[in-house]
Amino acid sequence: MFYTENKDRKIRIFDTTLRDGEQTPGVSLSIEDKINIANQLDALNVDVIEVGFPSSSKGEMDSAKKIIQQNFDTNICGLARAKKTDIDACIEAGVDTIHLFISTSDIQLKHTIKKTKKQVKEIIADQITYLKDHDVNCLFSAMDATRTDLDYLIDVYQKAEQAGADTINVPDTVGITTPHAMGQLIKKISKEISIPIDIHCHNDFGLAVANSLHGIEFGASQVQTTINGIGERAGNASLQQTVMGIECLLNLQTNIKTEKLYETSKLVERLTGIPILPNTPIIGENAFSHESGIHAQGVISDSETFEPGIMTPEMVGHKRRLVPGKHVGRHAVKTMLSDAGLNPNEEQLNEIVSRVKNLGDKGKKVTDVDLYTIAEVVMNSV
């Protein structure tokens, strides 16, 4: 059971579908696609949209500018390395928030930025001071935070706060933390700094959502997510799962219009070409589907018998479905047929159920159309 203390906390949702999500291998969105997704994220009511990395290409700069021209109420953020040129690009694009990042783990200091710990602290102070002179919000990320020496990490975050950062982000860049460790890390950091804490979890071990929820329980007030969990390698924490976890399991609030989750997920699936598996929680085609006779019969009389209840398909803009197959029962078949205007007698119903099961036993997927065809044949002959 979760044990969040302050039940009135509202958690801010920072969406990075257009930045980390677009870093999904094989995904490349056109400017029109990005604008389309940004409009949907605005309608979903996320608190922050990270639109991209303006210094990285002309397309990134143009799409950031075009999204900003839409004049959303949502806060717009751009990514920048801790470099003046990257900060200038974000300012030129016109973002509200700059997400400034620099590596802090030993392995990344040695192999990627080739700087000492002391140099990194100096860069952080200089670049945040420069950024804040331009009157923009600063979200500071210590990249690879979960593999960074804890004393140094706290030192870095304190430097960032002193230099004027508005929020600090704790990224689990390679997805190697666990829920317990993330909770303890956030608890320790929150004792040492006074600005809000954001978390960014990758899904290499399938724990991104669990790690995010634990970070929130222990004090993070903002969480970074992507629609459908897309992102580098195994992706980021899924927005849908994180939001429903926050609201239904932690009993905290977000500003998300959850009834738009399914349509948002479908849009991102179509534009990125990354398919959603049927058994994906919340938005997969099977998330609220029932085939087994026992389950279907239970759900027909009370959906809470075989669904969580605290989360319904209506809450997320999805639909409950009874599906035909070899595990189906008479009750469910009768309901499915009656919903389609077909009302077989008892003898016909038995025959229809038997033919559906036979088909399923042969390893065939039985669709709704197969069921109606079987029913019509049986009702015309038995």
Contact positions with Zn ion (CB under 5 A) in 39-58: none
Q: Out of ligand KIV, Zn ion, none, which partner does residue 101 contact, by CB within 5 to 8 A per kind?
A: ligand KIV
Which residue from 109, 112, 183 is spatially nearest to 149, judged by alpha carbons? 109
**What is the spatial distance between Cα 3 and Cα 361, in angstroms, rounded to a whole number?**
46
Q: For ligand KIV, which is the closer residue by CB, 99 or 214? A: 99
**What is the spatial distance between Cα 222 and Cα 237, in angstroms, rounded to a whole number?**
13
Q: How many CB atoms lie within 10 A of CB 340?
A: 12
Distance in Å, CB of 201 to ligand KIV, minimum: 9
The reply to whether 198 sits near Zn ion by the rule CB under 5 A is no
Of the candidate spans 19-27, 134-142, 176-184, 343-351, the one that interacts with Zn ion by CB under 5 A turns out to be 19-27
- Applying CB under 5 A, what is the total number of residues that bind Zn ion? 1
Q: Out of ligand KIV, Zn ion, none, which partner does residue 143 contact, by CB within 5 to 8 A per kind?
A: ligand KIV
Of the candidate spans 15-23, 247-255, 319-327, 349-357, the one that interacts with Zn ion by CB under 5 A turns out to be 15-23
Binds Zn ion by CB under 5 A, chosen from 12, 17, 20, 140: 20
Q: Out of Zn ion, ligand KIV, none, which partner does residue 295 contact, by CB within 5 to 8 A per kind?
A: none
Q: Which residues pair with 202 in a beta bridge?
A: 236
**What is the spatial distance between Cα 173 and Cα 250, in angstroms, rounded to a whole number?**
24
Residue found under tokens 């849908």: 240
Distance in Å, CB of 103 to ligand KIV, minimum: 9
- Answer whether 120's CB lies under 8 Å from 127's CB: no
**CB-based contacts of 254, cutoff 8 Å, min separation 6:** 10, 11, 12, 13, 243, 246, 247
Q: For ligand KIV, which is the closer residue by CB, 233 or 270? A: 233
Residues that bind ligand KIV (CB under 6 A): 20, 101, 141, 143, 171, 173, 200, 202
Q: For ligand KIV, which is the closer residue by CB, 202 or 331? A: 202
**CB-based contacts of 171, cutoff 8 Å, min separation 6:** 101, 141, 142, 143, 144, 145, 146, 199, 200, 201, 202
Q: For ligand KIV, which is the closer residue by CB, 51 or 336? A: 51
Q: For ligand KIV, which is the closer residue by CB, 74 or 173? A: 173
Q: For ligand KIV, which is the closer residue by CB, 97 or 297? A: 97
Q: Which two tokens stand for residue 144?
A: 């690879």
197-201 vs 222-225, strand pairing mode: parallel
- Answer whether 115's CB lies under 8 Å from 109's CB: yes
Q: For ligand KIV, which is the closer residue by CB, 237 or 311? A: 237
Q: Out of Zn ion, ligand KIV, none, which partner does residue 81 contact, by CB within 5 to 8 A per kind?
A: none
Which residue from 55, 49, 85 is spatially nearest to 68, judged by alpha carbons? 49
* CA-based R_g, the chain, Å: 25
Residues 113-132, mask of contacts with Zn ion (x by CB under 5 A): --------------------
Q: For ligand KIV, which is the closer residue by CB, 52 or 317? A: 52
Distance in Å, CB of 173 to ligand KIV, minimum: 4
Distance in Å, CB of 200 to ligand KIV, minimum: 5
Q: For Zn ion, which is the closer residue by CB, 68 or 143? A: 143
Q: For ligand KIV, which is the closer residue by CB, 157 or 288? A: 157
Distance in Å, CB of 52 to ligand KIV, minimum: 12
Which residue from 103, 33, 43, 171 is spatially nearest to 51, judged by alpha carbons? 33
At residue 185, φ and ψ (nearest 5 deg) are -65, -45
**CB-based contacts of 53, cutoff 8 Å, min separation 6:** 19, 60, 78, 79, 80
- Answer whether 64's CB lies under 8 Å from 33's CB: no
User: Which residue sits closest to Zn ion, CB atoms considered?
Assistant: 20
Residue found under tokens 């071990």: 205
Q: Out of ligand KIV, Zn ion, none, which partner does residue 290 contact, by CB within 5 to 8 A per kind?
A: none
Of the candidate spans 17-25, 93-101, 115-123, 214-222, the one that interacts with Zn ion by CB under 5 A turns out to be 17-25
Distance in Å, CB of 213 to ligand KIV, minimum: 18
Residues at the contact surface with Zn ion, assessed by CB under 5 A: 20
